[in-house]
Amino acid sequence: MSSTTLYGGASGRRVTVRDLAAAKQRGERWPMVTAYDAMTARVFDAAGIPVLLVGDSAAMVVYGYDSTLPVTVDDLLPLTAAVVRGSSRALVVADLPFGSYQTSPGQALESAARFMKEAGAHAVKLEGGRRIAPQVEALVSAGVPVMAHLGLTPQSVNVFGGYRVQGRGAAGDELMADAKDLQRAGAFSVVLECVPADLAERVTASLDIPTIGIGAGPATDAQVLVWQDMMGLTPRPARFVKRYADLGADLDRAARAFADDVVSGSFPGPEHAYT
């Protein structure tokens, strides 16, 4: 990926949904990662990651829940604001959490407006197929860019009976129809999570908007991972995760070394004290 191309060749401005659409037309792939605080957002932004997702995965990796369901709008607003403050070029997408948009388009707009006004998000993401197309249409009509999410949608994990691959067999045709409906409703992109690679390839070829894969094979226009998964902080990551670092082991070694230094009296040394 050429960040200069994706950023439209401009310096000092953020990525826009138009940049992402143009990248698809050029056949240019791009990465997206999650972020939940200003410090990691600054690192990922400087590395040229064009899209940062403040995911409802914060429920697990920040707040310690065992699913995404308990997290609320009020939980995610300060995290989103921090990521916006910590970045300067990435497009920041905020997840609409479970229960904040399903009731009606009006509820969805109320929730999205809070993320845009109070946290400075540039877009929102919501899960589901054609049943949430009215919400997508209402948000886009009101000026809110929408990233859709199909396949394994974690907010529906209880309906699915666990974290299972979605879209096999006849269900693939249903997912394809959902993707096209969401595109017609105005979504600027769609996440495909845990779907067969051949289905993701067909959906990608059938849509004008970018697809973002997570456990969906190599043919999507973009790829997303939870940063704690890819950096080795998650004990048992999913099959689709590639580890790019082992920060868990590094943090363990550093914490033990600090503890040993304190117990032995070797820290703080003279160089760490004021006179």
The tens digit of pLDDT for each residue in 27-83 reads 999 999 999 999 999 999 999 999 999 999 999 999 999 999 999 999 999 999 999
pLDDT in tens, 190-213: 999 999 999 999 999 999 999 999
* Three-state secondary structure call for residue 166: coil
The secondary structure of residue 31, as a DSSP letter, is E
Report yes or no on whether pTM surpasses 0.95.
no
**How do beta strands 30-34 and 51-54 pair?**
parallel
Query: Is residue 165 within 8 Å of residue 199, measured between CB atoms?
Result: no
Catalytic positions are 193
How does residue 1 score in pLDDT terms, banded at 50, 70 and 90? very low
CA 91 to the chain's CA centroid: 11
58: closest CA among 74, 38, 43, 75?
75
DSSP per residue, 80-127: HHHHHHH-SSSEEEEEPPTTSSSS-HHHHHHHHHHIIIII--SEEEEE
